[in-house]
Amino acid sequence: MGDTIKNRTFDVIVIGSGMSGGWVAKEFCDKGFKTLVLERGRDVKHVKDYPTTTKMPWEFERRGKMPIEVTKANPVVSRCYAYGEATDHFFVKDNEHPYVQDKPFDWIRGYQVGGKSLLWARQTQRWSDFDFEGPARDGFAVDWPIRYKDIEPWYSYVEKFAGIAGDKDGIPNLPDGEFLPGFPLNCVEKYFKQIVEKNYNGRHVISGRCAHLSKPQPVHFEQGRVQCQNRTICERGCPFGGYFSANASTIPWALKTGKLTLRPDSVVESIIYDENKGRATGVRVIDRIQKTTVEYYAKVIFVNAGALNTNLILLNSKSARFPNGLGNENDLLGKYVAFHNYRVRVSAEYDGFKELTTDGRRPTSGYIPRFRNVYRQETDFLRGYAAGFGAYRSMETNTDGFGTSLKQKLLNPTAGPWKVGSHMMGETIPKITSVVALDKIKKDEWGMPLLKISMDYDDNDEKMIKDYTEQMTAMFERAGFTNIIATDSRQAPGLDIHEMGGVRMGNDPKTSLLNKWHQLHECNNVFVTDGACMTSTSTQNPSLTYMAFSARAADYAMQELKKGNL
């Protein structure tokens, strides 16, 4: 087969193979569409390319730590909790892929097939109308063009396939989903749940819903995935497919249809816009290794490069019609980016349940859904925060002395006090001053302009931090917890790994980039269903929503293709 244009033409091109791109690929392939997935990084095959997944702790010569030269040369990625000796190969190093920090921003990236879906924290909470109606009610950003009823069936659809463990909690602002059995709370978490729910109206402590197969169904076995084994070393890749990743689920599923062409090492330079046709016709790709350029063509293009890289590709897709980036007629592309405020943790100890501890491990922990400003504005800041909550009991060892007495203590540790911890997940308000843009001078190894990132905390975030600290402290006191300590990490935006926006959805082409079907208003065969499409951030971990968006938009695109509208 020669390298003809025909061989480089597909029904759909998906840029990115991670959390959302994998879903788009699966949906199109399932319905028989010829699909090309472009991934800028290397291929990572399920199980085969998880080199550390069965390693024992003592098989890591530094027990997980990275050499000081590496951490010094890569301060950004080294701040990520999941980065270390066991996962080094799945993270982008700072110096390999530079970017410009107009303001401090820790950009955590995974350039490989599967992207960050290999590495995510796997928390999957649904949005509700209390989230979708936020901007309209509180007067920021623009109104979301969709509501919960639009996305509800798609949440169910992706949950059944991905496998979500959770309890039916009946909380209006955190809708229940299609759950496999939830992972249980432990004794201290259950106790705290009772205290909070008895003393506070509208506050709940639940088991965090997570993308783990607590009780796999036929559709999961069909994917080659089996029950989660509670290893909690998920970020190394799971040989059981116990948690959802593109590598374990959507990508191999799509490949099995025979409809998918997966091209790793493909850096997308830009999307090609045809002035005469008034539509995008394909993408220009730079081979990561050879540095050669090749073009691919399709009727429909999905951009799922990861929120900020999706902005980068669109900004770099310049034409006479769109000199400032594809679909960017209103000059809002790259603006109104936002993130989640993860700055504060509150920790404490509990004197009770001395006779109990935990056994085994658990891939999730407790979750406190947003309770601030849900039904009405009640504080001096907008929106609110969700919180993680967990209790654990460690074995403790006194390391005084040396010799046989020390050894006696080392080999016979005693159960320490119960420890509890919580961290905030605050909604931040997208602002016109929060921007990603192309650097005018600096370029990367592939000739792509570097992305210049400029976003920061604001007064609303500081007030929210104060409120979270006060409220969590009060709830801990109410439960009789002691040694309560609040810590503000002052971490830069980005380390939450929930960067969103820049290509926001909205009803009005003058004030938004995407319509309610995720199509660019000004170029309707280009869809964006990753974090870049987010109009506001709310408090939930966003991946589940990206998956649902992707499946819904792909379904719409296929219908339009069949009708000949695209």
Partner 1 sequence: MQRRTAVKYLFVVAAGSAVLPSCLHKTDKASIVLKHLDINGQQEKLLAEIAETIIPSGSAPGARDTYAHLFVLRMVDDCYDQQNQKSFLAGLNSIDDIASQKFATSFIKCNSQQRNEIVNELETKKGSGEAVDFYTMMKTLTIQGYLSSKPVLGDIFKYELVPARYNGFFPVKTSIHQV
Q: Which of 4, 276, 290, 412 binds partner 1 (CB under 8 A)?
A: 412
Question: At closest approach, how far in Å is the CB of 164 from partner 1?
Answer: 17
Q: Is 443 one of the binding residues for partner 1 (CB under 8 A)?
A: no
Comparison of 63 and 443: residue with beta carbon closer to partner 1: 63
Q: Is 4 one of the binding residues for partner 1 (CB under 8 A)?
A: no
Furthest-apart CA pair in the chain: how many Å?
84
Q: For residue 392, what is the DSSP state?
A: E
Q: Is 401 one of the binding residues for partner 1 (CB under 8 A)?
A: yes
Q: Which of 187, 205, 248, 558 binds partner 1 (CB under 8 A)?
A: 187
On whether the CB atoms of residues 269 and 284 are closer than 8 A, the answer is yes
* DSSP codes of every residue in 272-303: EEETTTTEEEEEEEEETTT--EEEEEEEEEEE
Q: Is 414 one of the binding residues for partner 1 (CB under 8 A)?
A: yes
Comparison of 143 and 189: residue with beta carbon closer to partner 1: 189
- Site mask for partner 1 (CB under 8 A), range 211-230, x = bound: ----------------x-xx
Question: At closest approach, how far in Å is the CB of 121 from partner 1?
Answer: 17
Instruction: Provide Rg for the chain, Cα atoms.
Output: 24
Q: Is 160 one of the binding residues for partner 1 (CB under 8 A)?
A: no
- End-to-end CA distance of the chain: give it in Å, rounded: 28
Q: Is 407 one of the binding residues for partner 1 (CB under 8 A)?
A: yes
Nearest to 475 by CA among 357, 331, 368, 325: 368
Q: Dihedral, CA atoms, 351, 354, 359, 365, nearest 10 degrees?
A: -20
* DSSP codes of every residue in 191-210: HHHHHHHHHSTT---EEPPB
Which one of the spans 114-122, 132-140, 289-297, 411-419 is the region binding partner 1 (CB under 8 A)?
Answer: 411-419
Question: At closest approach, how far in Å is the CB of 83 from partner 1?
Answer: 15
- Site mask for partner 1 (CB under 8 A), range 231-270, x = bound: x-x-------------------------------------
Q: Could you identify the residue written with the tokens 């959302």?
A: 20
- Taking the C-alpha atoms of residue 274 and residue 293, their distance in angstroms, rounded to an integer, is 18
Q: Could you identify the residue written with the tokens 């799971």?
A: 238
Q: Is 63 one of the binding residues for partner 1 (CB under 8 A)?
A: yes
Q: Is 362 one of the binding residues for partner 1 (CB under 8 A)?
A: yes
Residues 302-361 that bind partner 1 (CB under 8 A): 354-361
Comparison of 64 and 153: residue with beta carbon closer to partner 1: 64
Question: At closest approach, how far in Å is the CB of 193 from partner 1?
Answer: 12
Comparison of 217 and 230: residue with beta carbon closer to partner 1: 230
Under 8 Å CB-to-CB from 90, ≥6 apart: which residues? 44, 110, 112, 118, 119, 235, 237
On whether the CB atoms of residues 342 and 495 are closer than 8 A, the answer is yes
Give the binding-site size for partner 1 (rule: CB under 8 A). 46
Under 8 Å CB-to-CB from 70, ≥6 apart: which residues? 78, 88, 93
Question: At closest approach, how far in Å is the CB of 364 from partner 1?
Answer: 10
How wide is the angle at C-alpha 293 spanned by C-alphas 523 and 38, nearest 5°? 60
Q: Which of 1, 68, 289, 432 binds partner 1 (CB under 8 A)?
A: 68
Q: Could you identify the residue written with the tokens 């729910």?
A: 197
Given the rule CB under 8 A, which residues bind partner 1?
A: 54, 56-58, 61-63, 65-68, 183-187, 189-190, 227, 229-231, 233, 354-362, 397, 399, 401-404, 406-408, 410-412, 414-415
